[in-house]
Structure 1
Amino acid sequence: MALSARTLFHYTEEQGFLIDALQNGFAPRYCLEDFSYAYPPNPPGSVEIALAMKCFCDIRLSQTQEHTAMYGEYVIGLTKEWAIRNEITPVLYFHETSLNPNLYIHVQTTLSEIVMGMLGKSMEEMASTDLRSLPYIPSALSNCIGIMHKMKYYMKQIDGYMLRGGERMHKYFYDEKEWRYTPQTNRESPEENARPELFIEEFRDEVIKEQEHRRLRQYHRLLFDETDIKYLIVPSAEKEIEFKQALRDQVTRFGNIDNLIQKVRNFEDIRNDH
């Protein structure tokens, strides 16, 4: 038996969230991530940045009890072919002595030193400089810096702390087998470009956060077709009846709703079968 599911799953706590995804596509949201490893010698948890993302996993359904307890029992399962087409990527897990974050820090430091030498600026001055405003930085170097910056979006410690329900809790992230989608924010209209990340102060500002969430909902939805869906799962047989009716009443973007209804299952039956 394969250790990973052949399907990619997204879990949510409410029926309405799943209905919205079916009708409108997935809307990325900002999630706090610990990036202290990228800015040594800061201690773990001291550098938090909120990334715009949508998370999935490929945990087998027979092993999901801990995951559903954390993230909810309303689930959509989509093909991995769909995920690959949309650049949804498994995160790269690491620990404190792993080679990958140390290589990242080395390359980042080297690039910063090159730019500092070209500009005659200190590290403190560089922190407040927008490289995009400096046309004399070679495009290849600027692109390299951008690539390195983007790489950290797909790196994650094997364990750490997360914010859930307003509370900080310790989590062994490696068990989550996460695949991650981060939206491309390169649209021509500035109004349509949600920011790929928010600093912690901005994330805590409800006005700023909602403004960017609105852009994510309006311009950066992650879409899928009926043929990309393999499973729709709800908590119980009772909830299955309710959910099927909601599909008929609220989901209109698919041609034949009966095809979608045939993909609905419930966790009571799944756990009894396993």
Structure 2
Amino acid sequence: MTHIVQDSLYPDILFHFTNRKALFDILRSTFKVSYAREFITGKNYDRKFAIPMISFCDLKLTELKNHMEKYGSYGIGLTKEWANRNGLNPVMYISRHCDLTDDFITGLNGIYNHLDKLNNTDKFEGLSRSYTNILSVYQYLKNYEGPLVRGEKLINKNYRFADEREWRYVPNLRDTGGQPFIPISKIDTHEKKMYYNQKIDHLSLNFQPDDIKYLIIEQDEEISDLIRHLKNVKQKFDKLTIERLSSRILTAEQIRRDI
């Protein structure tokens, strides 16, 4: 029987974009989990918090141009097979004009209020575990569209986040004592964010050289630096791997101009 390959709107690769130093660090060691700010808004309520995660986009090469302008011109593309092995999941986009969004926000507030009132330790631990399982859904929610803020700067007051087709890696913190949510007030300075990120510094997302499909840098002049860096990371990239990856290096200039 002939196997028919089905065309899809989605590629078989997930990309992560960042700056040059961070990309080189990822290639030297691996992805490190850190707390990221999130803002969910509904018709009447909103909630700001931080989640420990690593973000990726489910975009084809032809769709990367606008994404790089917001998140950096240095990227790594890994297979979806790798993503599935490691439990990554697509974000669920919700409209700020829908009652469902307000229901999630008020539900989260109600759970925390309930837990605060419990005095029985055994009952608290049982409910806490059950609530944590439910609240894990909250870690994969994102507004369909809303304000895009990078640093402290408003980039777009009505940005369509769904265009990014985001996937997330969110570690299971149930048995590690880590916090799946942190109020935004606790990471509103660089020092505070560093403090909480140090608490989860042991959490990482690993990959093997064969999981990499593309490496993206800003300019042609940096290709030799990247290849040299791969050679220096000898314990991870052997000669054959470096040769394969060298043919998979793209530049942001090339993507903007030719793809």
The normalised TM-score by structure 2 is 0.82
The corresponding residue for 1:266 is: 251
The corresponding residue for 2:207 is: 224
SS at match of 1:208: helix
The corresponding residue for 2:31 is: 26
8 Å Cα contact 1:11/1:75 also seen in 2: yes
Change beyond 3 A, Cα 1:128–1:85:
same
Change beyond 3 A, Cα 1:234–1:103:
same
- For residue 185 of structure 1, the aligned residue among 158, 169, 173 is 173
Deviations 1:146-177 (A, max 9, x none): 22211111111111124313213332211111
Does residue 78 (structure 1) correspond to residue 78 (structure 2)? The answer is: yes
CA distance in 1, matches of 2:202, 2:180: 13
Superposition deviation, residue 20 in structure 1 = 0.8
The normalised TM-score by structure 1 is 0.78
Letter in 2 for 1:23: R
Alignment of structure 1 residues 239-258 onto 2, 5 Å: 239-250=222-233, 252-256=235-239, 257-258=242-243
- For residue 160 of structure 2, the aligned residue among 172, 190, 205 is 172
8 Å Cα contact 1:15/1:243 also seen in 2: no
The corresponding residue for 2:220 is: 237
Letter in 1 for 2:186: E
The corresponding residue for 2:131 is: 145
The corresponding residue for 1:210 is: 194
SS at match of 2:194: helix
8 Å Cα contact 2:129/2:174 also seen in 1: no
Letter in 2 for 1:253: K
Task: Structure 1: state its 5+ residue gaps.
Answer: 113-122
Does residue 199 (structure 1) correspond to residue 183 (structure 2)? The answer is: yes
8 Å Cα contact 1:77/1:232 also seen in 2: yes
8 Å Cα contact 1:24/1:221 also seen in 2: no
8 Å Cα contact 2:15/2:57 also seen in 1: yes
Does residue 135 (structure 1) correspond to residue 122 (structure 2)? The answer is: yes
Letter in 1 for 2:25: D
SS at match of 2:237: coil
Change beyond 3 A, Cα 1:128–1:144:
closer
Letter in 1 for 2:196: E
8 Å Cα contact 1:22/1:251 also seen in 2: no
Letter in 2 for 1:2: S
8 Å Cα contact 2:13/2:213 also seen in 1: yes
CA distance in 2, matches of 1:173, 1:233: 22
Deviations 1:51-72 (A, max 9, x none): 1111101111112211111111
Change beyond 3 A, Cα 1:214–1:259:
farther
CA distance in 2, matches of 1:99, 1:173: 19
Task: Structure 2: state its 5+ residue gaps.
Answer: 1-6
8 Å Cα contact 2:209/2:236 also seen in 1: no
CA distance in 1, matches of 2:234, 2:192: 30
Superposition deviation, residue 220 in structure 1 = 0.5
SS at match of 1:149: helix
SS at match of 1:253: coil
SS at match of 2:163: helix
CA distance in 2, matches of 1:146, 1:223: 25
Change beyond 3 A, Cα 1:148–1:36:
farther
8 Å Cα contact 1:11/1:74 also seen in 2: yes
The percentage of counterpart residues that share the same residue type is 28
The corresponding residue for 2:149 is: 163
Letter in 1 for 2:55: C
Letter in 1 for 2:12: R
Does residue 89 (structure 1) correspond to residue 89 (structure 2)? The answer is: yes
CA distance in 2, matches of 1:229, 1:186: 30
